């Protein structure tokens, strides 16, 4: 039997997204939004865990911090599918969510401008 029926010349490989997630659609951990920043932890993959090619692609892209939206775009999978893959990798401590600096800890732009102006006056 030919593999031609699984490839559309214009659209690429034909598959159902739920086949990548093995039917899972819900996250075990907290929700991930499009601007969630992700990064691989560098922890070795446990021997008991067999990573699918999609999981490996996620880890490869996440060697550097990347948003969920950018990750989805880079590996060319729907965001819902990528959320489930990320959730799997977080469960195994292979991927972490980077928490942004709270806005209260960031200096006010006006204060920084005044400081710069004062330094220039010296």
Tens of pLDDT, residue by residue over 85-120, are 898 899 889 999 987 666 666 677 888 888 888 889
Mean pLDDT across the stretch 66-82? Answer: 89
Mean pLDDT across the stretch 6-11? Answer: 52
| pLDDT reading at 48 higher than 60 | yes
Query: Which DSSP category does 50 fall into?
Result: -
Calpha distance 65→86 (Å, rounded):
13
Q: What ranges do the domains of the chain cover?
A: 3-121
pLDDT class of 40 with cuts at 50, 70, 90: very high
Please tell us whether the domain made up of 3-121 is placed in CATH 1.10.10.10: yes
Report residue 120: phi and psi, to 5°.
-65, -30
| pLDDT reading at 56 higher than 70 | yes
Q: What pLDDT score does 95 carry?
A: 94
* Angle at which helices 68-75 and 53-61 cross, to 10°: 130
Rounded to two decimals, the pTM is 0.64
């Amino acid at each position: 039997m030919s593999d031609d029926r699984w490839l559309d010349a214009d659209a690429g490989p034909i598959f159902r997204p739920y086949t990548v997630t093995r039917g899972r659609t819900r996250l075990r951990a907290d929700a991930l939004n499009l601007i969630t920043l992700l990064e691989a932890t560098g922890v070795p993959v446990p021997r008991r865990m067999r990573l699918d090619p999609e999981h490996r692609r996620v880890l490869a892209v996440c060697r550097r911090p990347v948003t969920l939206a950018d990750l989805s775009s880079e590996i060319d999978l729907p965001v819902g599918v990528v959320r489930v893959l990320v959730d799997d990798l977080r469960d195994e401590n292979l991927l972490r969510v980077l928490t942004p600096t709270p806005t209260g800890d960031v200096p006010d732009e006006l204060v920084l401008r005044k400081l710069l102006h004062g330094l220039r006056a010296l």
